[in-house]
Amino acid sequence: MGSHARPNRIHRTGVRIAMVALVGAALPISAGGLAEAATPGATHSAEENDQQGGAATTTAGQQQAARRQFPSDQAARHAVQDTAADAQNAMVRAAPQINADHAFLLDARDGSQERELWAGAKADESVSMASTTKIMTALVVLKHPEWLSRQITVQQEYRDYVQKVGGSTADLQTGDTLTVEQLLHAMLIPSGDDAAMALADHLGSGDTADMRIADFVNQMNTEAQQLGLTGTHFDSFDGISHGNNHSTARDLARLGQRAMLQPVFADIVKNKQFKTEAPAANGRTRYYTWINTNKLLSTYDGALGIKTGSGPEAGYALVFAAERDNRTLVGAILKDDEGRFDDATKMLDWGFAH
């Protein structure tokens, strides 16, 4: 689910920002030291007293030495404590200063491996992930490249679903026929829940729409397990949760890194805007224009895109990637506020400097 920067209200799946036109007409669609003193006994012989006196003298000398040594030891301990505190403060200052605790940043290197750069205080806490769910929806689709050219006709049920849940939309028109690849654009760029539903409905297995969608979501969870995303579970194709759709910032960054290895995915999410056309039900041509909800594409040098998300429970989410000096960084932010793009910018700047 995406949103423009600082919208006035959060839709359950993001802000609707699609435009569609029929035959060219556009519709805006986170001290001590202790010295012991010797006490001479009361009934000692003179010899014993002389011996004790010597012992007492020796002990007193030790006490004085200890007293002289104590300030030095204490100062040393304080110096060690101060050094540790300075190191801790330096670590805090070195970390990216952002609002979100649910955040994670990795260095994707050449794509075949990854290196953790920084983890927020709650990087491994599972929380609602909103429309960043659609990264996995796309990854499941792209496991079958033969599906990309398959044509799917938009059903009225997809539009009704968006209206029912108050979701973000690509404003797909009933009866229009689009390819799976076009629907991936419609889902990932304007964050269309209608497009996500069309993909799940047609690419899952079963005799009914509910069965096909359930099967598709099962494929999403199977893929999460295979990728080792232990803090992740899906119960929907678009992020409109039924109570058990959650992930961690660490998992989502890893998922984003994996998705960017797919050329089709990487090519789609880098678009600030995408225009396409499709046969309409009346035989004419429908023209669609979709605007990307990811503002980093316009504000951050080297941004590669990925996916936004927002919702009442999820707050503002963002999975993002950028490339500079032959390095690709991928990060994720969950349960942030409207400053998610600013936080992502700070994380990326910090990452490229380390």
- Residues with catalytic annotation? 131, 134, 191
Task: Give the Cα separation of 162 and 53 in Å (integer).
Answer: 97
Tokens coding 319: 């999975």
Tokens coding 260: 């960017």
Report the amino acid identity of residue 80.
V
Cβ burial, residue 177 (10 Å; 0-12/13-18/19+): middle
DSSP for 188-256? Answer: HSS--HHHHHHHHHHHS-SSSHHHHHHHHHHHHHHHHHHTT-TT-B-S-SSS--SS--EE-HHHHHHHH
For the chain, how far is it from start to end, CA to CA, in angstroms?
31
Task: Give the Cα separation of 30 and 99 in Å (integer).
Answer: 6
Task: Give the Cα separation of 24 and 215 in Å (integer).
Answer: 38
- ∠ CA 9-15-16, nearest 5°, is 135
Cβ burial, residue 112 (10 Å; 0-12/13-18/19+): exposed
Cβ burial, residue 324 (10 Å; 0-12/13-18/19+): middle
Crossing angle of helices 193-203 and 134-141, rounded to 10°: 40
| SS3 label, residue 132 | helix
Which segments of 23-128 are extended strands (E)?
Answer: 25-27, 102-107, 115-119, 127-128
Task: Give the Cα separation of 259 and 319 in Å (integer).
Answer: 11
Q: What are phi and psi of 328, to 5 degrees?
A: -115, 120
